[in-house]
Amino acid sequence: MIYIDFNEPGGPEVLVCSEGPAPVAGDDEVLIKVSAAGVNGPDIMQRKGMYPPPPGASPVLGLEVAGEIIGIGKQVTSWQPGDMVCALVPGGGYAEVVKTKAAHCLPIPTGLTAVEAASLPETFFTVWSNLFDRAQLKAGESLLVHGGSGGIGVTAIQIAKSQGVKVFATAGSEAKCRACLDLGADAAIQYREEDFVERIKALTQGKGVDVILDIVGGDYINRNLKSLAVEGRLVTIAFSAGHKADISIAPIMVKRLTWTGSTLRPQSDEAKAAIAASLRKQIWPLIENGTIRPVIYKTFPIQQAAQAHRLMESSEHIGKILLTT
């Protein structure tokens, strides 16, 4: 099979097209002939040498795919060869064939192409588990999403709105703010021109928001704590501004705040299977009826993975970037 490889960490130029043997499915795994694979932030970090794959995972980049099942392990009863699925994979997505746990696959939603479905797993697993499992976000509450026009952001806005949540988002340009509003955000804050702390204070009549989904870290942490309501929850899932912060503990104590976070890839197979089951029950029907839709900015042939990474790092995109085989 063809796959994308890199010999040493570095910039996008280290990505090269290679050829090697296809993987073999384990007893509880399936083999997928990949139609498309999503490009995500962790791929960029792994390419730079900052996010090594967990033990046993493929060193090949790529955490989400869609395509046709072409082989199943002897314990698999939920899928058959010929089934079209999208899937969370522990690695190996930038390839013509990938293996993953059968329980981490979901049917391609009715009405979506395989390419569109490839944009779903990584961000949907991440958003659902962090907002609704970890932060216990509920209907009637309010949410602030940082990076509202990125892959995580467009997913968080739509899922939260579908669950009866009031959603605010930050974005880096007027065009990106408009995209957030078009997806259902109640307000969009251009963070280069406005102080999101003051804007959130005004939008919530001084109360603050119940939950913040943060991909920035660094100096945003204290500002996030100021923007939370009493009993608010801050969920950190990335740290584009750095993984260290000099914070004041006082607002955590005074407002009884909870600060948590997670990464998806190292979680147990059982935890990922549970997220998949929740998505299939709660969210997949909303994709099929058009309430939630994939947002795809651009696709590249897999051989142009370096160009896809350059676009990802430019932050010019709105929504997801995909590689097609």
Integer Cα distance of 316 and 310 in angstroms: 10
- Let me know: does 273 contact 295? Beta carbons within 8 Å: no
The answer regarding whether domain 2-120+265-324 maps to CATH 3.80.30.10 reads no
| 273: helix, strand or coil | helix
How far lies 87's CA from each of 94, 108, 254, 295, in Å? 13, 9, 42, 17
pLDDT by residue for the chain (325 residues), tens only, comes to 999 999 999 999 999 999 999 999 999 999 999 999 999 999 999 999 999 999 999 999 999 999 999 999 999 999 999 999 999 999 999 999 999 999 999 999 999 999 999 999 999 999 999 999 999 999 999 999 999 999 999 999 999 999 999 999 999 999 999 999 999 999 999 999 999 999 999 999 999 999 999 999 999 999 999 999 999 999 999 999 999 999 999 999 999 999 999 999 999 999 999 999 999 999 999 999 999 999 999 999 999 999 999 999 999 999 999 999 9
The CATH homologous superfamily to which domain 127-259 belongs is NAD(P)-binding Rossmann-like Domain (3.40.50.720)
Task: Determine the longest span between alpha carbons in the chain, in angstroms.
Answer: 59
Q: What is the pLDDT of residue 228?
A: 98
pLDDT reported for residue 249: 96
Q: Are 151 and 127 in contact (CB under 8 A)?
A: no
Phi-psi region of 221 (alpha: psi -120 to 50; beta: other; left: phi over 0): alpha
Report which of 12, 68, 95 is spatially closest to residue 325, judged by C-alpha positions: 95
Q: What are phi and psi of 324, to 5 degrees?
A: -115, 145
How far apart are the C-alpha atoms of 118 and 85, rounded to whole Å? 9
Q: Provide the residue ranges of all domains of the chain, joining segments of one domain with +.
A: 2-120+265-324, 127-259
Q: Can you give the pLDDT at residue 258? A: 98
**What pLDDT was estimated at residue 82?**
98
Which of 83, 84, 77 lies closest to 116, judged by CA? 84
Q: How far apart are CA 223 and CA 87, in angstroms?
A: 36
Tallying the residues shown for the chain, one arrives at 325
Q: Please give the structure tokens belonging to residue 286.
A: 């909303």
Report CA-CA distances (Å) from 279 to 159, 165, 215, 318.
10, 17, 22, 23
